[in-house]
């Protein structure tokens, strides 16, 4: 396969935005019948490259050859017609249309300009059956879960006579069995001779499915590698381009000393707290200086617990105590009054106000707590912001820059800074390391350790069990919107036992 | 950042200046200021005086638009405010009584605040799309104004009421003073407190703002109430100018002019960042256009055509496609920052 | 505005969900239908002569132009846009028709010119919205100013129409049984049927829904979002042109003050008909019902006799309020 002609060649691709060079002389080759991973930290230029490939952006330099012919796409429509199909991380479908339409719109079967609805349903059913998905194709897409919607998006991409299939982080919202199912489908397509470009943050998945990979760093090409010939460590080194010391520090740090923790009255304790349809009643205590990890699959109720503790959703059962006294949160501001902070999972939609500057975003929660009539004096704002920009190494270190100009990792740090200046007693971190680069990830992990050493309680939510185990004193295990086990992080605890707890529903 | 803001206001400002200069060709003494009876007169003062109601409505509208909303009902509120004030004054034994007029004015503004509260409630609490929530009052409000005036045009003969639009204070026309004072108040309240920033935050990302602990509901309600009160003051000016209240025609289409003024001033209809200075420029620009068309001797109805041209030019000039050639210069600026 | 409860449970795909969803989708239209029956019932019970079928037909006769305009508006609102120019374009069309006929142009030329003019204005606004990224509200506001301004450039007075063809069409009554309708009603119903077919059975129609559901996604799904958006404003312009022609039949004159505020009536009819202003959900049938509601309010107030005309506005506002709150409840539950 390697000596056949590549189906797609991108050569010397350059793309600049005002003030930023996003891509600089990047090459990419895709051969028929291979799964090719596109790797890089956030801000490395992966998504820009994909958008150039799929016609969403126009490149400034370089050329693209598809099947031996030079091409230039005016838009996604043209790229799709040429045989390049894309499934994006954020599901790009229309929730108000039926499943069948979402699979087929743009190429609905028609006769004399009239849509043949029955043929359309049948074809959609067939396509979904290929993914082992059996749902009512006449129902609105919006009524289905994210995982199902993702599968529908893939079914849609499959329907096009695709030569190249681009999967942009398709697995980030799928659970393990759904990932397996997706991989089975990918292998099938590979055998059919389709070239698959696969973007993911999960290294294990790359080594499971990809034949070759292209690594980018800071908008430049690092190299093209065979998966079999590149070790995981070398890959990470290629991606971040610096010694791994930073990561290994944390990696090799001794497990958190549970014994060293003095557990007095918990800072926050939930007693059979619950919300119908979101999370079954659960009890959980978080003490001063303690890091409690929440482990569980996506959709198992991790975020729901966080939102209840922060008052973002209202509990309809049970009781919540702060420092031993019962409280009833009427909204995030009540939780903030008890010095609880929450960094939500989705930075862009739930966290940052992209219009505002870094300074304004950092000051926002503190200002909200004071009310609009009592502004934080500008001198104090500048001082606080400067301190945290420095402490968290937010780059670029210009507080008056709109926050949308920052990379994912730096945006996450801005969000952390917003809550750190409010000096919370409990910090809830929902997936703080997702979708950010390895370097920033290590920094944030180190920060969590420092904060808890300083006496702050932390509720740490992450899909990566290793990370949860490394940082937490105690791990609460969730399954199907139910808290099923609470495991002390002592020597015997490892990812296998946590996974067993998830799988068995708590009998670990 | 300041360079960008200046950049954003460049085109509206350039247009305003060129319009004013253009007027010189038709009216050589356009910029002349005359002192008569100890009062200032002149074309520029006329523009500001006649533009005061629009400026006020646009001022309130800016706050609403910053929250990502829009208030279509301001025209109806203008009508209701004037209607109630005139209806009250016409019922006075002595229409010249300052106390009675003040009471009428206060009552009218109170009702407007109530109407703003209604809009704010629908948008902030019930969660209805602003354009629709305020459409209700836009349609029903005209009916209410006619209900108050019983379908008639109420004429009043009240010197104190008349003074709102035609009086002078320290040689300066009263409407200009009122408008300037309200602009100053809004500017101070939004920029000297955190109100402006929180408003921009809510308009920029409502969900994130809530999770940052901002009580957006309150801010939104305040914005709509402020907008309705501004419209109410404008309504008093409009009806005071002619010493009468016309429920059907007072403030007709002023909502569109006001929204136009805000947009010309560089505030996005999507919410977020807002510019009060921009709105002031936008409102004065629109009024200058009206005056210019009038002085050139074109039928006033045709002004609409010129407004359309201005909107199209400004929109196109500010469109990314047109701007592309100017942004080449930007990387240098960013690098410097 | 407040999408706070985004973290809902992934809906299990069960038969219950399947059966329940379509019903919710049709709920707003159903509610409008119920309201109409209710209003009609109240009219029949309270006023003598209300039950005459001709009363309902008269509503169609008096609102045929509004119906056509509202159908065009439905396309625009389904994509999540808005068209403020419709009233002005209607007025301009009456003006141009009157002017051309006055100058002796034959009706066979005047008709296509009128329709072409409406479409061209719509096309222009659509291009502005799409290619220069101008918000629909502002672009169509410019269109509104332009069209009204042009009316007054033609004349600030009313121009009567006495062309024989126009007079004949406007006086024509199509009798069947003991009742009659006007030619305008036939035209309006034809427009409704064509629009309903286009939205349900053509790829363009489905693209309209897709663009209204999520324009970003629609673009990434390879749909020609730009073409669709430009097309809906062109259609709205065409419908306004046609509405203007029908109004010129109805009024037998062209005047710059004709159809003032008609954009509000059209938007109100579309919303009362159950179409979401955010786009992506709604039916032409709903718009027909919405126009009927507006017509029924006027009719009832006329029959009541002692209610002043401004109560019409207050009632329309009230119904808008009720329907908007209802939509709010429905969409909240659907999410």
Question: What burial class does residue A2 get, using C-beta atoms within 10 Å of its C-beta: 0-12 exposed, 13-18 middle, 19+ buried?
Answer: exposed
Q: Which residues of chain C have pLDDT under 70?
A: 1-25, 330-335
Residues 6+ away with beta carbon under 8 Å from A87: A150, A153, A154, A156, A157, A165, A166, A167, A168, A170
Residues 6+ away with beta carbon under 8 Å from C33: C289
Q: Determine, for residues A18 and B327 on separate chains, whether the beta-carbon distance falls below 8 Å.
A: yes
d(CA A505, CA B110): 61
A494 and A442: one domain?
yes
CA distances (Å), origin C238, targets A377, B67, C122, C211: 57, 35, 7, 20
CA distance C331 to chain A (A): 11
Size of interface B-C (CB pairs under 8 A): 153
The reported pLDDT for the residue numbered A2 is 45
Contact map slice: C 72-101 vs B, CB within 8 A: 82, 84
Q: Which of C7, C21, C214 sits opposite A94 (nearest CB)?
A: C214
Q: Determine, for residues C153 and B144 on separate chains, whether the beta-carbon distance falls below 8 Å.
A: no
The reported pLDDT for the residue numbered C18 is 36
The reported pLDDT for the residue numbered B306 is 82
Q: Which of C134, C277, C313 sits opposite B142 (nearest CB)?
A: C313
Q: Determine, for residues C267 and B301 on separate chains, whether the beta-carbon distance falls below 8 Å.
A: no
CB C142 within 8 A of CB B315: yes
The total domain count for chain B is 1
A437 and A375: one domain?
no
d(CA A252, CA A240): 19
A80 and A122: one domain?
yes
Domain that holds residue B15: 2-336
Mutate: best of A96, A107, A175, partner C, most C CBs <10 A? A96
C7 touches B at CB < 8 Å: no
Contact map slice: C 136-175 vs B, CB within 8 A: 137-139, 141-146, 148-153, 156
Q: Which of C202, C213, C335 sits opposite A114 (nearest CB)?
A: C202
B325 touches A at CB < 8 Å: no
A267 and A289: one domain?
yes
Mutate: best of A76, A80, A82, A105, partner C, most C CBs <10 A? A105
Per-residue pLDDT band at A193 (split at 50, 70, 90): confident
For B136, name the nearest residue in chain C, comparing CA atoms only.
C317
Residue A255 lies in a domain: no
- pLDDT over 60 at A366, yes or no: yes
CA distance C131 to chain A (A): 14
Q: Which of C25, C221, C334 sits opposite A92 (nearest CB)?
A: C221
Q: Which SS3 state, helix, strand or coil, does residue C275 take?
A: coil
A98 and A63: one domain?
yes
The reported pLDDT for the residue numbered B312 is 80
Q: Determine, for residues B213 and A353 on separate chains, whether the beta-carbon distance falls below 8 Å.
A: no
Q: Which SS3 state, helix, strand or coil, does residue A322 take?
A: strand
A107 and A204: one domain?
yes
Residue A328 lies in a domain: yes
A36 and A157: one domain?
yes
Which residues on A lie below 8 Å from C5 (Cβ)?
313
What is the average pLDDT across A54-64? 88
For C153, name the nearest residue in chain B, comparing CA atoms only.
B302
- pLDDT over 60 at A184, yes or no: yes
Residues 6+ away with beta carbon under 8 Å from C221: A76, A92, A93, A94, A102, A105, A106, A156, C210
C271 touches B at CB < 8 Å: yes
CA distance C172 to chain B (A): 34
Q: Which of B204, B212, B327 sits opposite A368 (nearest CB)?
A: B212
CA distance A138 to chain B (A): 29
Contacts 24+ apart (CB under 8 A), B102-105: B102/B160, B104/B161, B105/B161, B105/B164, B105/B236
Higher per-residue confidence, C9 vs B261: B261
CA distance B19 to chain C (A): 19
The reported pLDDT for the residue numbered A390 is 87
The total domain count for chain A is 3
Peptide bond into A396 cis (omega under 30): yes
The reported pLDDT for the residue numbered C190 is 96
Mutate: best of C222, C278, C279, C332, partner A, most A CBs <10 A? C222
Query: Could you give the ipTM of this predicted complex?
Result: 0.80
Q: What is the dihedral of CA A6, A8, A12, A15, to 10 degrees?
A: -160
Which residues on A lie below 8 Å from B192 (Cβ)?
375
The reported pLDDT for the residue numbered A506 is 59
Q: Which of B198, B204, B211 sits opposite A332 (nearest CB)?
A: B211
Q: Determine, for residues B212 and A418 on separate chains, whether the beta-carbon distance falls below 8 Å.
A: yes
A228 and A377: one domain?
no
Lowest mean pLDDT among A97-111, B59-73, C17-31, C192-206: C17-31
Domain that holds residue A271: 261-301+309-339+424-508
Size of interface A-B (CB pairs under 8 A): 97
The reported pLDDT for the residue numbered A244 is 46
Strand partners for A11: A63
B304 touches C at CB < 8 Å: yes
Quickly count: other Cβ atoms within 10 Å of residue B270's Cβ.
12
Residue A85 lies in a domain: yes
Query: CA neighbours within 13 Å on the CB side: how many for A246?
Result: 17
Give the CATH number of the domain where residue B256 resides: 1.10.3470
The reported pLDDT for the residue numbered A260 is 61
Range with top average pLDDT, A9-23, A193-207, B27-41, B64-78: B64-78
Q: Which SS3 state, helix, strand or coil, does residue C81 take?
A: coil
CB C29 within 8 A of CB C283: yes
What is the average pLDDT across B116-138? 89
Q: Which of A312, A352, A367 sits opposite B198 (nearest CB)?
A: A367
Give the CATH number of the domain where residue A448 resides: 3.40.50.300
Taking only the tens place, the pLDDT of each residue in A437-466 is 777 788 888 889 889 888 899 999 987 777
For C326, name the nearest residue in chain B, comparing CA atoms only.
B128
Continuous segment of H or E residues that includes residue B160: helix B159-166
Residue A20 lies in a domain: yes
What is the average pLDDT across A232-242? 71
Mutate: best of C257, C312, C313, C318, partner B, most B CBs <10 A? C313
Q: Which of C142, C152, C271 sits opposite B311 (nearest CB)?
A: C142
Q: Which of B131, B146, B308 sits opposite C277 (nearest CB)?
A: B131
Q: Determine, for residues A372 and B198 on separate chains, whether the beta-carbon distance falls below 8 Å.
A: yes
Range with top average pLDDT, A69-73, A91-95, A344-348, C10-14: A69-73
Which residues on C lie below 8 Å from A146 (Cβ)?
10
Residue A49 lies in a domain: yes
Mutate: best of A342, A346, A368, A424, partner B, most B CBs <10 A? A368
- pLDDT over 70 at B184, yes or no: yes
d(CA B138, CA C317): 8
d(CA A375, CA A367): 7
What is the average pLDDT across A58-64? 89
Return the closest-CA partner of residue C247 out of C61, C114, C65.
C65
- pLDDT over 60 at A482, yes or no: yes
CB A454 within 8 A of CB A466: no
The reported pLDDT for the residue numbered B324 is 54
B64 touches C at CB < 8 Å: no
Residue A32 lies in a domain: yes
Size of interface A-C (CB pairs under 8 A): 107
Q: Which of C131, C149, C313 sits opposite B305 (nearest CB)?
A: C149
Taking only the tens place, the pLDDT of each residue in A379-428 is 999 999 999 888 888 877 888 888 888 877 788 889 999 999 999 999 99
Strand order in the sheet with A317-322: A279-286, A268-275, A317-322, A325-327
CA distances (Å), origin C74, targets A321, A450, C209, C264: 52, 58, 11, 13
Return the closest-CA partner of residue B203 out of B129, B271, B259.
B271
A326 and A434: one domain?
yes
Q: Using the Cα atoms of residue B271, residue B277, residue B283 and residue B288 in order, give the sign of their dihedral.
A: negative
Which residues on C lie below 8 Å from A108 (Cβ)?
203, 206
Q: Determine, for residues C149 and B206 on separate chains, whether the beta-carbon distance falls below 8 Å.
A: no
Q: Show which of A394, A423, A452 is a domain's final residue.
A: A423
Q: Which of C150, C153, C277 sits opposite B132 (nearest CB)?
A: C277
CB A407 within 8 A of CB A438: no
The proportion of chain A whose per-residue pLDDT surpasses 70, expressed as a percent, equals: 90
Q: Determine, for residues A310 and B215 on separate chains, whether the beta-carbon distance falls below 8 Å.
A: no
The proportion of chain B whose per-residue pLDDT surpasses 70, expressed as a percent, equals: 91
In angstroms, the first-to-last Cα distance of chain A is 46
What is the average pLDDT across B147-152? 86
Which residues on B lie below 8 Å from C318 (Cβ)?
140
CA distance C131 to chain B (A): 8
């Amino acid at each position: 396969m390697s000596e056949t002609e590549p189906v797609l060649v991108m050569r010397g691709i350059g793309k600049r935005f005002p003030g930023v060079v996003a891509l600089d002389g990047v090459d990419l080759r895709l051969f028929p019948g291979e799964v090719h991973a596109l790797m890089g930290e956030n801000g490395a230029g992966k998504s820009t490259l994909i958008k150039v490939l799929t016609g969403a952006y126009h490149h400034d330099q370089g050329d693209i050859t598809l099947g031996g012919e030079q091409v230039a796409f005016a838009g996604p429509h043209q790229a799709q017609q040429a045989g390049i199909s894309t499934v994006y991380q954020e599901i790009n479908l229309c929730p108000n249309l039926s499943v069948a339409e979402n699979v087929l719109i743009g190429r609905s079967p028609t006769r004399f300009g009239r849509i043949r609805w029955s043929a359309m349903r049948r074809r959609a059913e067939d396509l979904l059956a290929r993914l082992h998905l059996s749902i009512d194709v006449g129902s609105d897409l919006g009524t289905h879960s994210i995982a199902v919607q993702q599968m529908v998006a893939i079914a849609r991409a499959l329907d096009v006579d695709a030569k190249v299939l681009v999967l942009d982080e398709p697995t980030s919202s799928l659970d393990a069995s759904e990932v397996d199912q997706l991989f089975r489908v990918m292998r099938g397509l590979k055998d059919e001779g389709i070239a698959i470009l696969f973007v993911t943050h999960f290294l294990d998945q790359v080594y499971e499915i990809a034949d070759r990979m292209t690594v980018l760093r800071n908008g430049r090409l690092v190299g093209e590698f065979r998966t079999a010939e590149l070790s995981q460590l070398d890959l990470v080194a290629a991606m971040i381009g610096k010694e791994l010391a930073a990561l290994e520090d944390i990696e090799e740090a001794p497990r958190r000393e549970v014994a060293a923790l003095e557990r007095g009255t918990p800072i926050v304790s939930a007693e059979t707290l619950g919300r119908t349809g979101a999370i079954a009643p659960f009890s959980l205590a978080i003490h001063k200086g303690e890091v409690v990890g929440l482990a569980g699959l996506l959709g198992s109720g991790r975020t729901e617990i966080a939102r209840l503790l922060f008052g973002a959703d209202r509990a309809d059962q049970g009781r919540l105590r702060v420092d031993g006294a019962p409280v009833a949160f009427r909204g995030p501001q009540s939780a903030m009054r008890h010095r609880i902070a929450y960094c939500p999972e989705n930075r862009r939609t739930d966290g940052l106000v992209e219009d505002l500057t870094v300074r304004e975003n950092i000051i926002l929660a503190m200002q909200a707590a004071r009310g609009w009539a009592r502004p934080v004096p500008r001198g104090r704002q500048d001082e606080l912001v400067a301190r945290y920009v420095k402490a968290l190494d937010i780059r670029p270190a210009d507080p008056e820059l709109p926050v949308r100009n920052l990379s994912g990792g730096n945006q996450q740090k801005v969000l952390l800074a917003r809550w750190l200046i409010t000096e919370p007693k409990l910090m809830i971190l929902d997936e703080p390391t997702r979708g950010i680069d390895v370097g920033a990830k290590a920094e944030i992990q180190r920060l969590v350790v420092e904060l808890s050493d300083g006496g702050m309680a932390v509720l740490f939510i992450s899909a990566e069990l290793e990370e949860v185990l490394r940082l937490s004193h105690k791990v609460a295990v969730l399954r199907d919107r139910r808290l099923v086990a609470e495991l002390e992080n002592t020597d015997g605890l490892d990812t296998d036992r946590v996974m067993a707890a998830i799988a068995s529903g708590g009998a670990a | 950042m300041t360079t960008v803001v200046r950049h954003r206001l460049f085109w509206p400002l350039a247009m305003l200046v060129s319009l004013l200069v253009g007027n010189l060709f038709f009216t050589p003494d356009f910029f002349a200021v005359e002192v008569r009876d100890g009062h200032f007169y002149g074309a520029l003062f006329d523009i500001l005086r006649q533009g005061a109601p629009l400026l006020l409505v646009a001022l309130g509208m800016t706050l609403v638009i910053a929250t990502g909303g829009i208030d279509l009902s301001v025209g109806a509120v203008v009508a209701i405010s004037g209607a109630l004030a005139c209806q009250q004054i016409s019922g006075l034994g002595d229409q010249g009584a300052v106390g009675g007029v003040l009471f009428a004015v206060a009552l009218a503004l109170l009702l407007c605040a109530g109407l703003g509260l209604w809009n704010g409630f629908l948008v902030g609490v019930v969660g209805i799309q602003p354009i629709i929530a305020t459409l209700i009052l836009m349609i029903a409000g005209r009916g209410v104004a006619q209900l108050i005036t019983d379908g008639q045009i109420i004429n009043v003969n009240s010197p104190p009421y008349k003074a709102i639009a035609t009086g002078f204070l320290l040689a300066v026309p009263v409407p200009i003073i009122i408008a300037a004072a309200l602009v100053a108040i809004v500017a101070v309240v939004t920029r000297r407190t955190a109100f402006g920033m929180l408003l921009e935050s809510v308009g920029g990302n409502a969900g994130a703002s809530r999770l940052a602990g901002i009580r957006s509901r309150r801010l939104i309600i305040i914005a709509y109430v402020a907008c309705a009160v501004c419209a109410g003051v404008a309504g008093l000016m409009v009806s005071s100018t002619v010493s009468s209240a016309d429920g059907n025609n007072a403030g007709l289409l002023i909502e569109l002019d006001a929204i136009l003024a805000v947009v010309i001033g560089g505030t996005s209809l999507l919410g977020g960042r807002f510019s009060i200075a921009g709105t002031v420029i936008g409102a004065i620009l629109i009024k200058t256009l009206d005056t210019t068309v009038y002085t050139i001797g074109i039928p006033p109805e045709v002004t609409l055509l010129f407004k359309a041209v201005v909107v199209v030019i400004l929109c196109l000039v500010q469109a990314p496609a047109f701007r592309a050639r100017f942004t080449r210069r930007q990387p240098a600026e960013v690098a410097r920052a | 505005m407040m999408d706070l409860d985004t973290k809902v449970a992934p809906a299990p795909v069960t038969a219950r969900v399947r059966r329940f969803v379509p019903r919710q989708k049709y709920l707003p239209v159903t509610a409008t239908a119920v309201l109409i029956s209710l209003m009609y019932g109240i009219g029949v019970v309270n006023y003598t002569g209300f039950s005459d079928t001709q009363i309902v037909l008269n509503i169609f006769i008096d609102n045929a132009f509004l119906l056509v305009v509202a159908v065009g508006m439905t396309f625009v609102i389904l994509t999540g846009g808005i068209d403020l120019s419709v009233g002005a374009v209607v007025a301009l069309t009456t003006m141009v028709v009157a002017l051309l006929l006055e100058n002796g142009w034959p009706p066979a030329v005047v008709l296509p010119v009128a329709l072409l003019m409406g479409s061209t204005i719509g096309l222009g606004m659509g291009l502005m919205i799409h290619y220069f990224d101008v918000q629909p509200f502002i672009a169509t506001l410019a269109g509104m100013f332009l069209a009204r301004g042009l009316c007054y450039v033609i004349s600030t007075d009313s121009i009567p129409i006495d062309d024989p063809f126009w007079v004949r069409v406007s006086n024509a009554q199509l009798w069947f049984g003991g009742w009659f309708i006007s030619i305008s009603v036939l035209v309006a119903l034809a427009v409704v049927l064509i629009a309903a077919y286009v939205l349900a059975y053509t790829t363009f129609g489905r693209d309209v829904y897709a663009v209204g559901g999520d324009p970003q996604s629609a673009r990434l799904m390879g749909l020609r979002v730009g073409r669709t958006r430009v097309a809906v404003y062109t259609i709205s312009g065409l419908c306004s042109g046609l509405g203007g022609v029908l109004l010129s039949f109805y009024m037998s004159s062209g005047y710059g003050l004709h159809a003032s505020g008609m954009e509000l009536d059209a938007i109100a009819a579309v919303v009362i008909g159950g179409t979401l202003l955010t786009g992506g959900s709604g039916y032409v049938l709903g718009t027909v019902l919405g126009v009927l509601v507006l017509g029924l309010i006027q009719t009832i107030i006329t029959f009541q006799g002692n209610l002043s005309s401004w109560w019409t506005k207050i009632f329309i506002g009230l119904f808008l309020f009720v329907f908007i709150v209802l939509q709010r409840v429905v969409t909240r539950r659907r999410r």
